[in-house]
Amino acid sequence: MKTFADATIEIVKDETLSKNWYHLRNVTFNYTGSSGRTARLKREVYDRGNGATTLLYDLARRTVVLVRQFRMPAHLNHHSGWLIETPAGLLDGDQPEAAIRREAMEETGYEVGDVRFLFEAFMSPGAVTERVSFFAAPIDISRRAGQGGGLESENEDIEILELPFAKAMAMIGTGDICDGKTIMLLQWAALNLPELNGSETA
């Protein structure tokens, strides 16, 4: 049985290929694996910083608040590019909870109170350094504090969607929701917030 207790990684060279928006790096390293054999490998790594995302939900109405915006990488991979997502953003120097409070207000107009930290996850560790902090926050849909829709200064054009939880879950199956972080948070809610499903017991 393989064990990686003795595996080692030695970085030989770390080159910056692009600093246009985020950083694209070409990393050369020596990898000594479970067999004891050492190989020199190269990987391109995209460094865009860490992020945070949250599921906004209204238990009384069994509703979640999601956003729809254009994503060029999805568009280039045979999709319209208009993805339905949970509010999210890069930390930009803030702590994850502060970042998600900021993003929730900017994108949806909801000022969240209690925020529950759930977990962290690498979303595409084969190529991207980003680690995302996941949260959930209850809201009252009737008490929206701002307009939302994103920042015009950042050319954000965001549609706010208030969806019954059952409909959002069904949209995973139809492919209308195909964003990874959003699927993860909706699945978390299905397991941990039975009230959203209309069930009094877990």
Q: Which residues contact 101 (CB under 8 A, 6 or more apart)?
A: 111, 112, 115
d(CA 187, CA 119) in angstroms, rounded, equals 13
pLDDT at 198 over 80: no
Residue 1: inside a domain, yes or no? no
Does 90 lie in the same domain as 159?
Answer: yes
Does 158 lie in the same domain as 122?
Answer: yes
pLDDT digits (tens, 9 = 90+) for 9-54: 999 999 999 998 899 999 999 999 988 899 999 999 999 999 999 9
pLDDT digits (tens, 9 = 90+) for 91-121: 999 999 999 999 999 999 999 999 999 999 9
Does 35 lie in the same domain as 60?
Answer: no
Q: Are 59 and 138 in contact (CB under 8 A)?
A: yes
Does 93 lie in the same domain as 20?
Answer: no
Residue 147: inside a domain, yes or no? yes
Backbone CA torsion sign across 45, 47, 50, 56: negative
Name the band, by pLDDT with cuts 50, 70 and 90, for residue 200: low
Q: Are 194 and 201 in contact (CB under 8 A)?
A: yes
Q: Are 55 and 189 in contact (CB under 8 A)?
A: yes
pLDDT digits (tens, 9 = 90+) for 52-81: 999 999 999 999 999 999 999 999 999 999
Return the pLDDT at 201. 45
pTM over 0.85: yes
Residue 201: inside a domain, yes or no? no
Does 36 lie in the same domain as 88?
Answer: no
| Domain range enclosing 26 | 8-47
CATH number, domain containing residue 158: 3.90.79.10
pLDDT at 5 over 90: no
Phi, psi torsion values for 134, nearest 5 degrees: -105, 135
pLDDT at 199 over 50: yes
Q: Which residue has the higher pLDDT, 185 or 142?
A: 185
pLDDT at 202 over 50: no
Does 94 lie in the same domain as 28?
Answer: no
pLDDT digits (tens, 9 = 90+) for 143-169: 888 777 777 766 678 999 999 999 999
Residue 2: inside a domain, yes or no? no
Cα separation values, 155 from 65, 126, 169, Å = 21, 29, 30
Between strands 51-58 and 131-138, the pairing is parallel
